[in-house]
Structure 1
Amino acid sequence: MRLVPAIIIAVALILAPVIWVGTTYLLQSGQGGGDGFGASAVDSGARIELERMRQQLEDVQARMERLEQELSSAIATLQRPVTPPGDGDGFDDGFRPDTGADNDILDAYAQVVLIADRRNVNRGLQVAGPDYLEARLGRPREVLSDSCEEMTNVSLASKLVTEQVGPIRVRMLQPAIESLRRVFENVRQTDPDLYARINTAGALCVRRIRGTQNRLSTHSYGLAVDLNIDGRLDTLGDGRTQLGLTILADFFHAEGWVWGAAFGREDSMHFEISRRQLDEWLDAGLL
């Protein structure tokens, strides 16, 4: 019986690259080989399945580590055989069982899942950061507090716009508004069901980063937005997020936005402009 976990581990090792290759192939195929979001809309259920396959990679790794620990414990104590995980094993993969209800696909967007390989989700994009933002744009306000206040930098304030952008209404700098509009239009064309579920927890908020004396949040510049599905706020720092946000992250990445899921303290509701995109706007005279 002690051979069973070892066999399962071996099978998992074999399946992991298969899942990875399959997921990569499906994602590339679904994106049409171009920028990924110019093709016709895909079935919502199919897109959710692609995201679930991504999550399976993370789940397989967790199961492998768990089985290895159980096997070592069994060999050391010789008290009982180790059985493979199954029903009732206490492993939560983040998904609710299929109930067959008509709204299962729609409900899936709000489900909380592990963020697979979260440290690498921004692949190639760099956070601008408070020091870089201040060096390139100046300070949006001289005196800061922990509360949201008005922007007093006249040059920056003149570029602030309040508009309905896709499914949400936000106040941000004009280039960020236009970029966000493109993101949401791509989402609407590709996955209208997800588009209809997008909600916001805020954008512009001129304040210092909480816990600091004088460092500026990216929200202070109108270059960041917090999003969620159905108005359900994400738990900060737990390494998990709503499945719908993992889908949105790909659209934002294509437009040059950084996802807060990769931060040291995970903040998966948070999307902000990358340093590369900021530099492009500055070089073009948009800021």
Structure 2
Amino acid sequence: MTMRLLPAVILAAAVLLAPVLWLVLPRLLAGGGVSLPGGGTESAEISGVIIENLKQEGQILELEAQVGELKALVEELQSRLQRLEAAVARGGLSPDGMVREGDIAPDSNIAASEYTQVALIFDRTNFNNPLTVATPGFIVDLLGKPRDTLSDDCQPMTNPALKQMLVTEQVGPVTVTMLRPAIESLKTVFAEIRRTDPKLHDLINTAGALCVRQIRGTSGRYSNHSFGLAVDLNINGALDNFTDGKTQMGLIIIADFFHAEGWIWGAGFRREDSMHFEVSREKLMEWRTQGLI
């Protein structure tokens, strides 16, 4: 199961280091030149041109004001990379970032706050491939409407056939109301998370599952929560910011387990929603073939 934590951290480190190098390199050049692979050096004249251009654009003053903050962020990234290397040494991750099949020793030193740290999601709009979203229209054709009238607020489900499939259960660390096949699938996801990272498993909370309502900002378009096929999760009660393109480390980790089970992650939506997980079109068709829905 591919872990996307390493690419996210490495990309963030590159972004943070780039402006520091942009500031420091011209000064090194001004101080006598920098050796090139062929043995030559940049002339003082070229160095002066580079520095002059930066001054004209006002970039040096702006970067100098940010150097302290950038250094602190780089040190934090280095610390995270060291923890990842420690995980590799423990056997928790293989060098290529893959989760091993055997039991994985958790890092007891990881604090809850580490799981709620946020990072940019690398290539997030392609995360869900090859899974595809089950659109509201597709689900209505497959299962029927959960109720006829909708609003922005949660309302009871009135469809008798769907109501018969609704179950409320404690699943791993959360209690949710969803369709029976979704509950069983969620059990598989949480069992794998618990086996791999029991500390993270115990920090997972729910921000809601069944909620028969329209997608906010639309009129009459069902949210996937309306069918009992979606769940919102948070880490240790800390809600992830909506549509900022970033997400909590804990959510990045658990997203791989949901993907393997055939669920869509909301971080891949155009409007990033990292707390949201929903059953994919492919998983629904699998359940239909098995006679589960």
Q: What displacement does 1:241 show?
A: 1.1
Superposed counterparts of 1:43-122, under 5 Å: 52-60=5-13, 62-63=15-16, 66=19, 74=50, 77=53, 79=55, 87-89=68-70, 92=73, 104-122=110-128
Superposed counterparts of 1:1-287, under 5 Å: 52-60=5-13, 62-63=15-16, 66=19, 74=50, 77=53, 79=55, 87-89=68-70, 92=73, 104-287=110-293
* TM-score, structure 1 normalization: 0.73
Q: Percent identity?
A: 49
In 2, Cα distance between equivalents of 1:105 and 1:51: 20
What stretches of structure 1 of length at least 5 have no aligned partner? 1-30, 37-49
In 2, Cα distance between equivalents of 1:276 and 1:202: 23
In 2, Cα distance between equivalents of 1:58 and 1:98: 15
In 1, Cα distance between equivalents of 2:21 and 2:136: 43
From the superposition, tell whether residues 78 and 149 of structure 1 become closer, same or farther in structure 2 (CA, over 3 Å).
closer
Residue 196 of structure 1 aligns to a residue whose secondary structure is helix
What stretches of structure 2 of length at least 5 have no aligned partner? 27-48, 84-107
* Cα deviation code 1:221-244 (max 9, x no counterpart): 000000010011111000111100
In 2, Cα distance between equivalents of 1:164 and 1:51: 28
User: Which of the pair has more CA radius of gyration?
Assistant: 2
Q: What RMSD over aligned residues (CA atoms) do the two structures have, in Å?
A: 3.3
* Cα deviation code 1:2-30 (max 9, x no counterpart): xxxxxxxxxxxxxxxxxxxxxxxxxxxxx
- The one-letter amino acid of 1:263's match is F
- The one-letter amino acid of 2:6's match is M
In 2, Cα distance between equivalents of 1:251 and 1:262: 15
Residue 69 of structure 2 aligns to a residue whose secondary structure is coil
In 1, Cα distance between equivalents of 2:204 and 2:132: 25
* TM-score, structure 2 normalization: 0.72
In 2, Cα distance between equivalents of 1:214 and 1:66: 47
From the superposition, tell whether residues 95 and 151 of structure 1 become closer, same or farther in structure 2 (CA, over 3 Å).
farther
